[in-house]
Amino acid sequence: MKRTLAVLLVLVGCMCLAIPAQAQLQWGVKGGVNLAKLDYKDIKNNSTGFFIGPTAEATIPLIGLGVDASLLYSQRGEGDYKQQGLDIPINLKYTIGLGSMFGIFIAAGPDFYFNFKDIDIAELEAKKKLVSLNVGAGVKLIQHLQIGVNYNIPLGDSFKLKNVGDVDSKYRTWQVSLAYMF
């Protein structure tokens, strides 16, 4: 009985290791539009920006589960409150394939933003590093195109008051993206 159980556990372990070995790796280019909203006291700043950069995706074909990550130059906000920086979303993605030409996916994961532009307005100062939770969905078309919509839920404030600390100011951002995978 113990020997049979041990053999069964070894077989299950080998199968679990064999499935990820079949993972498909794709890379491509991703770009899109940032629709950002900043709320701070009497300031209501709705703005449009953009993002562009390389992206990669590893998927386990039979299961439809995968990971995608991007390295994006991103701009959001406008005028004095414009942020420019490096956006690194890392998402766990689940895809339901409806044939080889069409699929639907949902994705979620952390989003790390590194601000390059100094924003120094009166009492406000922009934070250099921001973390948010990325939640999204989209479609895959013709095996190469991906169209998606994401919402970034900020996990901290986007600005801080000089010599005081954090202030209730967050960029809430919708992203509409188009990716071409090679």
105-154 tens-digit pLDDT: 999 999 999 999 777 666 677 788 999 999 999 999 998 999 999 999 99
Task: Say if 11 falls within a structural domain.
Answer: no
Record the pTM.
0.81
Query: Using 50, 70 and 90 to split pLDDT, how confident is the model at 165?
Result: low
Residue 48 has pLDDT above 70, yes or no: yes
77 lies in some domain: yes
> Following DSSP, what letter does each residue of the chain receive, concatenated?
-HHHHHHHHHHHHHHHHHHHHT-EEEEEEEEEEEEEEEEETTEEEEEEEEEEEEEEEEEETTTTEEEEEE-EEEEE--GGG-EEEEEEEEEEEEEEESSSSEEEEEEEEEEEEEE-S--EETTEEE-SEEEEEEEEEEEEETTTEEEEEEEEEESS-SEEETTTEE-S-EEEEEEEEEEEE-
Q: What CATH number is given to the structural domain containing 123? A: 2.40.160.20
> 68-78, pLDDT tens digit by residue?
999 999 998 77
Write down the pLDDT at residue 41: 66
| pLDDT band at residue 6 under the 50/70/90 scheme | low
pLDDT at 19: 47
What range does the domain containing 158 cover?
Answer: 26-181
Number of folded domains in the chain?
Answer: 1
For residue 124, tell me if it sits in a domain: yes
